[in-house]
Structure 1
Amino acid sequence: MAFFIDPNCQVVSFVLNTLGWMFSMICMGLAKWRLWYMESISAPSQGLACIGMWKLCTYQSANHHSRPIACHRYTYSDTYLPLDIRIAQNLLLAASLLGLLGKVLMVTGLRRVYAGQLQKDTTCNLFFASGVLSIVAGAFILIAVIWNYHSVMNEEGIHFPPSFQIPFRPDRQEIGSTVPVAVLAAFLMLLSGLLTISFQQPPNIEVYPEVSQV
């Protein structure tokens, strides 16, 4: 079956995909996925710890807008990281790669459309594959967000090295400001993928009414 491709709609999907991919890259580098408040602990551990997927930053006071005292970056060889952070790292990396691949496929499809080299089967397959990759990437980001939320709500602790001077579990913890960015990234990626697929609609078939003979 032949499909009708609206290039303008696909451009909208491309813009949404690009924004979602950019936000996903930003949230990977931020540390404020979890906020640990250490109020009843004696110095130097007292203060605030911002825990991200790839680094940890500590602050002397509960004001996380001040300059951090120290930041520690994680590596794959760090055995102290809990399972949820390890899986979230892989999910976010996979989401960034899938989102980038989806962008490449979408650009290839758009270039064929605007260049007049429209082979409907091939071009539609490019857009469909791009949409699927965007949906999978958005789902991966959403899983990382949900798992992070679950860990905070359950007040799970982390065995950081003694050199970090961070306790196993803080006095209280809450969701950080990076989570809304990740949610926005997941939403844009999912929306882009769904729109990319839904824009490939069968052409409208004109139906002519039958004229009865008198």
Structure 2
Amino acid sequence: MVLFDKANCLAVSFALNIVGWIFAMVSMGLPNWRTWYIESSPAPSWGLVSVGMWKVCSYQPSGLQTRPIVCHRYTYSDTYLPLHIRFPQHLLLVAFLLSLLGKGLMVLALRRVYMGQLQKDTPGNLFLAPRILSIIAGAFIAIAVLCNYHAVLNEEGIDFPPSFHIPYRPDRQEIGSTVYLAILAALLMLFSGLFTISFQQPPNSQMYPQSPKCKVPSCISLQIHDEQFMEVK
């Protein structure tokens, strides 16, 4: 019973990790990590720009262009991307891969628990690895969020190609709404890793009931007889 209670707690932690992983994937694809307000530049640069980790989208009034929303995806060959974009990109990719590996190990461990395929120290090792991987993945996402916050705080610019019609630095910028989704993803991964119960197979211990003290004369005589037999032996 204790074994399956621990396994059920680990299954809940695994579900939280899955939700955090989904939030992390969604935040990686959304562009609104940084919001740029371009007010002094002439058209078509004037408007709102959402700078993400993998793409940038510009929003202009519908009267200026036939396409009010224009998005451009980044590639690994793009040399204009600064370090405060490339570094979080790699952190998010590594976090995605580590979290994916941790989920595979967790599924394997839970399957062995519920199927009764247990060996000494094996389940503990299987549950320890995904817990560590989840903590590392959550930490990497948190570092990516901090890098983005540092770029906004220092008003860092990006030298986009002229065809993007986006200036190097906006008039003002702020943290985008996608960052909060990434923070939630990091917290869920860290929570599922830090508060996962250390799974250990309970030792096989045999409990022997203690015999009550004898108070009746027959029982006392039997005990005396046993003691005399042991002394003779």
Distance apart, 1:84 and its partner CA: 1.3
Give the Cα–Cα distance (whole angstroms) in 1 for the partners of residues 35 and 27 of structure 2: 15
Distance apart, 1:35 and its partner CA: 0.3
Q: Name the structure 2 match of 1:64.
A: none
Superimposed CA distance per residue, residues 136-169 of structure 1 (whole angstroms, 9 cap, x where no aligned partner) = 0000000000010010011011111111111110
Instruction: Flag structure 2 segments of 5+ consecutive residues without an equivalent.
Output: 62-66, 208-233
Instruction: Flag structure 1 segments of 5+ consecutive residues without an equivalent.
Output: 62-66, 207-214
Q: Name the structure 1 match of 2:71.
A: 71
Runs of 4+ in 1 over 4 A off after TM superposition: 201-206
Superimposed CA distance per residue, residues 95-147 of structure 1 (whole angstroms, 9 cap, x where no aligned partner) = 11111111110000000000001124111111100000000000000000001
State whether residues 49 and 57 of structure 2, in contact with CA within 8 Å, keep that contact through their aligned partners in structure 1. yes
Q: Equivalent residue of 1:166, what SS?
A: coil
Distance apart, 1:69 and its partner CA: 2.1
Distance apart, 1:195 and its partner CA: 2.0
Q: Equivalent residue of 2:129, what SS?
A: helix
Give the Cα–Cα distance (whole angstroms) in 2 for the partners of residues 155 and 10 of structure 1: 43
State whether residues 57 and 68 of structure 1, in contact with CA within 8 Å, keep that contact through their aligned partners in structure 2. no
Q: Name the structure 2 match of 1:200.
A: 199
The correspondence of residues 17-166 of structure 1 with structure 2, limited to 5 A, is: 17-61=17-61, 68-166=68-166
State whether residues 16 and 189 of structure 2, in contact with CA within 8 Å, keep that contact through their aligned partners in structure 1. yes
Distance apart, 1:4 and its partner CA: 6.0
Matched letter for residue 153 of structure 1: L
Bigger RCO of structures 1 and 2 (CA < 8 A, at least 6 apart): 1
Kindly, what percent of the aligned residue pairs are identical?
A: 66
Give the Cα–Cα distance (whole angstroms) in 2 for the partners of residues 20 and 134 of structure 1: 10
Distance apart, 1:201 and its partner CA: 6.5
State whether residues 10 and 199 of structure 1, in contact with CA within 8 Å, keep that contact through their aligned partners in structure 2. no
Give the Cα–Cα distance (whole angstroms) in 2 for the partners of residues 173 and 166 of structure 1: 13
Matched letter for residue 49 of structure 1: V
Give the Cα–Cα distance (whole angstroms) in 2 for the partners of residues 201 and 108 of structure 1: 15
Aligned residues: 198
Give the Cα–Cα distance (whole angstroms) in 1 for the partners of residues 55 and 175 of structure 2: 16
State whether residues 80 and 160 of structure 2, in contact with CA within 8 Å, keep that contact through their aligned partners in structure 1. yes
Superimposed CA distance per residue, residues 72-95 of structure 1 (whole angstroms, 9 cap, x where no aligned partner) = 000011000010110111110111
* Cα RMSD (Å): 2.1
State whether residues 59 and 68 of structure 2, in contact with CA within 8 Å, keep that contact through their aligned partners in structure 1. yes
